[in-house]
Structure 1
Amino acid sequence: MSASAYFVKSLGIIGATAGIALISPLPAHAVSFTLSNITGTWDNVQGTSVFNGTGTNQVRWGSPATISGQSGFNFTSSSSLVSVSSGSNFVLGELTHLNFPVWAGTAASGADLDLSMAIDGVFHAFNYSFLINETSNTAGTCPVFQVSNTPCDDKIDFSSPFSTTTFQKDGFNYSLELLGFSHTLDGLSPVSSFITEEHKASSAFLVARVVKDGNNDVSVPEPTSAVAVILIGLAATGMRRSKNHKWVR
């Protein structure tokens, strides 16, 4: 076999082998994290100038229209230590909406939840914005999301599932994704909106998961890429050694 033929054949073997390595990634595996000291405080109340309790886990807003008092949010964090796996749902804590009537023009349209927690012993801060759809409470004018018999239900949403904060483990960036609200502690089937009945305090569990960030600045090569590099290096070494042999046409 000529030197040129050998070189072409070697390149073909390298390309095929590296291609298999690149298109056949190793099975993904979950990464474990330990979360502790989870706290949540409210900030940036929007849509009203009548509010109090920012910087705490209980924020209130509006001029009360009944003896029930102001509307508001409470947040109660989960237990002091939570072990989670990447990609798996877990409960951050419990959110309570105090849905009490307030006078027009004093209702809030949004509030931010500032979450702080230690992840594997390192503290990180996350911020999520919640949107509040405060209704008029007039029979016959309730929105399409109305589910109770009391006019009119309110709706709580969040504007983005991701905070700007990321954190690293084993050379990869991870994010804390907010999945939604659940009425069960397992958090397996969260919904994106929390519908609450007027004249009541309603609670739901806030569900999240740790996910690998889409903009990873990876400090080490992916396992499959590393395999391809090794194979190319071995093939190159073989070709260098072949130069010491006599080629036969």
Structure 2
Amino acid sequence: MNMFKSALCGASIIALTAIGAQAATLTVTDISGAWSNVVGGQQVNINNGATSTVRWGTPTNAQSGYDFTPEGTPLDAAQDVDFTLGTFTHHNFPITAGTGISSASLDVTFKFYLGSDSSTIYTRTSQFVFNHWETGNSDNPCADGGTEGSGVNINGCADQVTAVTNPNSTDSFEIVDGNITRKYVFAVNGFDIGDEFWTVENQTNQATIKARFTYEENIQPAPIPLPAAAWMLMAGMGGLAMASRRRNRKS
């Protein structure tokens, strides 16, 4: 009996270890971005390809614009560790006054599976909305309150990008696998832009979108069947008890 208990405990430890190993990974299989809802601007061009871009303005040499470049996939992520889904880039080039945009939206869609179950793919989309201030290059003072020709305004007054909608949200997923229910929490932390940033004229500025996941296990073990020998032993003990009661009645 002690040997049976020892073997059972060992099997349980192995099973729990296997469950933990399976649940401790997330694999992102695809990431894409799509620009839309551009407000204002002239000569606006949107290209939602591998790197999604939006360009605007009557250029001096090149148009101003935004890019979204997704991380390469498949992308494996460990629990409770931030990982990057993609990079937002602002290109600030001189354009004719009055031809800049005032806002644009970016939908970031990503697909992933949990643990080793690659047959079940989850899809999530997060929307980011940016307000844009295409400032006059020779304003005095500049839009940020600084002086043209110094600091962030070294090449002319810097342009401002503000994250109006920069979601920091979570989704929960419950996966039932046999007699085990696992709860996963997936969080998109948003672009690390803060409330805003200023981009130097004739330069670019970048921010990355971060996410992370964690999980909880709710283990509901199924009843463990007794070996046939144990059932036979219990039946035998029951028979002995009945025989004992009969003898007691006769006496």
TM-score, length-scaled by structure 2: 0.58
CA distance in 1 between partners of 2:172 and 2:112 (Å): 9
Shift in Å, 1:103: 2.3
Shift in Å, 1:77: 1.0
Q: Residue type matched to 1:116 in 2?
A: T
1:38-49 → structure 2 map (5 Å cutoff): 38-48=31-41
Equivalence for 1:196: 199
Is 1:176–2:188 an aligned residue pair?
Answer: yes
Contact 2:129 2:166 in 1 (8 A): no
> Which of structures 1 and 2 has the larger relative contact order (alpha carbons within 8 angstroms, sep 6+)?
1
State the SS of the aligned residue for 2:212: strand
Equivalence for 2:136: 136
- TM-aligned CA distance change 1:71 to 1:143, over 3 Å: same
Shift in Å, 1:131: 1.8
Q: Equivalent of 1:208, from 207, 210, 218?
A: 210
CA distance in 1 between partners of 2:86 and 2:145 (Å): 25
CA distance in 1 between partners of 2:145 and 2:88 (Å): 20
1:8-27 → structure 2 map (5 Å cutoff): none
CA distance in 2 between partners of 1:85 and 1:199 (Å): 38
Q: Residue type matched to 2:209 in 1?
A: V
Q: Report sequence identity in percent.
A: 26
* Partner deviation per Cα, 1:191-222 (whole Å, 9 max, x = no partner): 4433211122x14241322368xxxxxxx99x
Equivalence for 1:150: 155
CA distance in 1 between partners of 2:78 and 2:160 (Å): 30
- TM-aligned CA distance change 1:198 to 1:166, over 3 Å: same
Shift in Å, 1:51: 0.9
Shift in Å, 1:73: 1.0
Contact 1:87 1:209 in 2 (8 A): no
CA distance in 1 between partners of 2:24 and 2:167 (Å): 19
CA distance in 1 between partners of 2:33 and 2:141 (Å): 34
Equivalence for 1:22: none
Q: Equivalent of 2:95, from 82, 98, 102?
A: 102
* Partner deviation per Cα, 1:46-68 (whole Å, 9 max, x = no partner): 1335411154401111222x1x2
RMSD (Å) for aligned C-alpha atoms: 3.2
Contact 1:92 1:205 in 2 (8 A): no
Contact 2:64 2:94 in 1 (8 A): yes
CA distance in 2 between partners of 1:52 and 1:103 (Å): 16
Provide structure 2 residue ranges, at least 5 long, that are not aligned to the other structure.
1-22, 114-120, 175-181, 220-251
Which structure: larger Rg? 2
Shift in Å, 1:45: 0.8
Higher strand share goes to which structure?
2
* Partner deviation per Cα, 1:19-48 (whole Å, 9 max, x = no partner): xxxxxxxxxxx9643222111121111133
Contact 2:41 2:99 in 1 (8 A): yes
* Partner deviation per Cα, 1:159-187 (whole Å, 9 max, x = no partner): 13327884524345644220414xxxxxx
* Partner deviation per Cα, 1:122-147 (whole Å, 9 max, x = no partner): 22222111221221111423123754
Q: Equivalent of 2:57, from 58, 62, 67?
A: 62
Is 1:123–2:123 an aligned residue pair?
Answer: yes
CA distance in 2 between partners of 1:139 and 1:49 (Å): 22
* Structure 1 residue ranges (4+ consecutive) displaced by more than 6 angstroms after TM superposition: none
CA distance in 1 between partners of 2:209 and 2:88 (Å): 10
CA distance in 2 between partners of 1:31 and 1:133 (Å): 43
State the SS of the aligned residue for 1:53: strand
- TM-aligned CA distance change 1:58 to 1:133, over 3 Å: same
